Copies of this chain bind each other. A is one copy, B any other.
């Protein structure tokens, strides 16, 4: 089964989700900076969500770059990954309106966790669908990334429930910054620990 249509389809969905996130921003009610700054937390949430989606796309791109064949299980894991991403505009917008409430923060945290779990499931099934040993080992080395992500999601949800709801967004956003900027250094640290 060829992988190119799955790649193209996933690209299209991520591109659309990224782009319609902006439709959830409320237009400022006046032409002043004050009116824009009333939206500042929504703008921050927008940029963070956009970067998260860009990272998912980057990782998806790298992962399938290495793959040669896919099967039905990969298709389904990938579809559920896409489903998780598709609710981003909904949970992002709700969280923007009720930033200090647990329900929207928890929905946001669960959506991210689902996306990370399904990304792992896609990677896992992709590895099983591939015979090539070298590619398999590269995938395996990359699994720690999924574990760290899912671990962070769980901790964020726990802290959000136990301490303050806002921590769910903040922890996931901070993790994002750590993830983007010094990706190579983190990779080395983790590979040394193994």
A23 touching B82 in the complex, CB below 8 Å, given contacts A12-B15, A31-B97: no
**For chain A residues 1-41, which have a beta carbon within 8 Å of chain B?**
1-2, 5-9, 11-23, 25, 27-28, 30-33, 35-36
A28 adjacent to B58 (CB under 8 Å): no
15 more A-B residue pairs beyond the given contacts A28-B94, A36-B103, A51-B83, with a C-beta to C-beta distance below 8 A:
A5-B7, A6-B61, A9-B15, A12-B12, A12-B16, A13-B18, A15-B16, A16-B20, A21-B86, A27-B93, A27-B94, A31-B98, A31-B102, A33-B102, A54-B82
- Size band of the A side of the interface? 35 or more
Q: How long is the Cα–Cα vector from A21 to B82 in the complex, in angstroms?
A: 13
A86 contact from B19, B58, B93, Cβ within 8 A: B19
- For the complex, give the distance between the alpha carbons of A116 and B61 in Å: 25
Chain A interface, >50% SS class = helix
Query: In the complex, A75→B183 CA distance in Å?
Result: 14
- Contacts of A75 on B, CB cut-off 8 Å? 58, 61
* Contact present for B19 and A13 (CB under 8 Å): yes
Asked if A50 contacts B86 (CB within 8 A), the reply is yes
Asked whether any CB of chain B lies closer than 8 Å to the CB of A89, the reply is yes
Q: Is the CB–CB distance between B14 and A16 below 8 Å?
A: no
Set B19, B35, B65: member contacting A20, Cβ < 8 A: B19
Given A17-B19, A18-B13, do A25 and B79 touch, yes or no (CB 8 Å)? no
Q: Does A101 contact B (CB under 8 A)?
A: yes
